[in-house]
Amino acid sequence: MNLFEEFIEEFKALESENNERFENISRFVNNIGAALTKPYMYASIELDEAIKKLKIRAEEPMKVAITGQFSSGKSTFLNALLAKDILPTGITPVTSKVNYIRYGDEFSIMVRYKDGREAFFQVENIANFTDQRSALADDIDYITLYAPLELLKDIIFVDTPGLNSQSFSDTAATEAVLKEVDGIIWLSLIDNAGKMSEAEVLEKFMHSYQNKSLCVLNQKDKFSKEQVKQTSEYVKQAFKKYFSEVIPISAKQAVEARSNKKETVLEESFDNALRKLKKSALQNGYIIKKQMLDDALEEFNKQSETLSKKNSSQNEALLKESNIEAVLSFIYKEIQPISISAKEFAITQDAKLLIEMLIEQEEKIILVYEELENILNEYAKEATKTFEELKSRFAKSLNESLLRIEEIIEKIAAEILSKKRGSQRVRYAKTKAGFFGGKEIFTAYKYEAPKINADEVYKKLFFDDDLVGKMFKQYLKSLEIIQDEVNLQNAQVFEKLEARVLEWQKPYELIRKNKPLYSDIQFANVRKFASKSYENILKPFSDEINDSFAKISSEFKHVGSLVKFNYQNATEVVVAFLERRIENSIKLYEENPTKFSIYEPRLDEIKERLKIAFHTYELENLMRSSRSFVGKNYDKLAENFAKINSEKMSLISESKNEYVKLKNKLISLFNTI
């Protein structure tokens, strides 16, 4: 068992504990995701994506960034950590893009372009995309290298361009990476460590990462143990606010030790043989001949036999001397526990933020419905008050209109009475001629009896001046004015509600989610509800006003028709009645003057007969009673409006409560975290 294998075994127990914590995080995210994506939540695509990202974050290993000043050997150091020459190295800063190095079932690279495209290539082509000297690198956002290495199951390495590159975009990309990773390895050459130029870079970019940063001093093989120790102690003291630990290593020795490692050489030999086979197959139309396989196998067996005879103790000593395992030890012992705790905290906070955002979404939607509830609540109070005010107002108007009828009756009665004249009449009574009786004789007695000149009455009232006709036209006009005003005021009562509801509707029938994670369907449902405001809310109120309009118009028509076509005939009926009564009284008087008197029409009697003929008592019942037809109409309107308002409030509350329930579920979920 080599040193690296021993190191892995040493941390098996620690890894088991960490895996359990990882599983708890994954379980937590899965539970949150399941709760937030239930069918009744109408989760958006963006919310699904956010939950997927949380799941990926929960399941993926810790991220460790390798950074430093350019030409500090970051790529060589990573090759040493990975025990495989994967990343290209060079004197100039060849790593111009952020490279994510992750576990994969086979070696490959994924190139993510700035326009969002992704493409996969063979790992041998990596230099074409990472070297800043390559024109292909200009359009690249970042690169992910996949490798089937056990170490990468626990760690994602991030190779950065460096923090003092001449390219501003390279430095900015590196700075962004440092904020998102779990650990940072700052690579510096021992002979450059502690210099002012490095101190300035550290102060500018690394001042807030001390708890997750390791300083690795490379090329310790070039210096004596004492020099390495002195430099390490100096850096620890000088840069203690930037790093948790300082470890000197030799990436060169680690690479050499790995290069001479039997397993590594055999693996590379096998890879070379496989590449040759692929190349030959490509040249021969993807046909692999048996001889080609035999040759490759023979060459591999020869190398395997040679390696088996080599002594590996020198190689093991070189690997130990490189001190590379100290870096891995720091990653597992220091960075990973912090990483898991940070991940637990960050994922919990992110989950809370998701839930808070969804609670906020439900609150926004609830407010939409509550605004409409407030409109109807306020309107219900105003409408009730308005109906009472209009009821009182039009009671006065109807009473004033009814007074016009009474004025007409006063006028007709006065005119009838003014056309009453006294006429000389003679009656004959039987008497006996002598004291002791004898022949009966008739004696004439003169008396005066009243007589109504009907022709003059009609002429004055209906023909020459048409006084009554004019007065009735004014009366009917007053009724029309009242009717129009009633209908106008009733329409305005509805229009106030209509204006408020339409004002409420205007923004909400176009409402869209203003945050990506919000539900498209929930906001679509709000738009649908708002767009149907007339059908859902206004129409029943409008129908009630229209019904009222028809009833009011019918009642006013009835009130007008009671006298409109009847006033002349009613007057003639009353005059005829008076004339008959006078004539009947004259007959009785002439038959027995001591017992009967001649009827003399009085003004109050004439008015009473006119009231009956003009249906005045019916009009008073319709127009003057405490329950006039307009008053009854307003009582009915108020009753029906209250009923409709209650139904609409129930409809709104039912719609709103769907979101209240969702909000309460989210709050309960939030409180469990």
Please spell the DSSP secondary structure of 42-99, one letter per residue. Answer: ---HHHHHHHHHHHHHHHS-EEEEEEESTTS-HHHHHHHHHTS--S---SS--B-SEE
Answer whether 665's CB lies under 8 Å from 362's CB: no
Contacts (Cβ under 8 Å, ≥6 apart) of 277: 288, 292, 293, 296
Answer whether 672's CB lies under 8 Å from 347's CB: no
pLDDT at 4: 43
pLDDT at 310: 55
pLDDT at 238: 85
DSSP 220: G
Strands in 350-491 per DSSP E: 420-432, 440-452
Low-confidence ranges of the chain (pLDDT < 70): 1-22, 70-71, 89-96, 130-138, 162-170, 194, 197, 259-312, 432-438, 564-565, 625-626
Q: Which residues pair with 445 in a beta bridge?
A: 427
pLDDT at 175: 77
Answer whether 277's CB lies under 8 Å from 296's CB: yes
Contacts (Cβ under 8 Å, ≥6 apart) of 41: 358, 519, 662
User: Which candidate, 384, 378, 249, places its Cα nearest to that of 321?
Assistant: 249
- What the block records as the tokens of 132 is 């800043």
Tell which phi-psi region holds residue 92, choosing left (phi > 0), alpha (psi between -120 and 50) or beta. Answer: beta
DSSP 38: S
- What the block records as the tokens of 184 is 């940072």
Three-state secondary structure call for residue 132 = coil
Report d(CA 143, CA 129) in Å as an integer.
Answer: 8
pLDDT at 11: 46
pLDDT at 8: 45
Q: Is 448 exposed, middle or buried (0-12, 13-18, 19+ CB in 10 A)?
A: exposed
Main-chain phi, psi angles of 451, to 5 degrees? -145, 130
Report d(CA 218, CA 252) in Å as an integer.
Answer: 9
pLDDT at 337: 80
pLDDT at 507: 95
Cβ count near 33 (within 10 Å): 20
Locus of tokens 């037809």: 629
pTM: 0.68
pLDDT at 670: 94
Report d(CA 622, CA 465) in Å as an integer.
Answer: 31
Report d(CA 254, CA 123) in Å as an integer.
Answer: 22
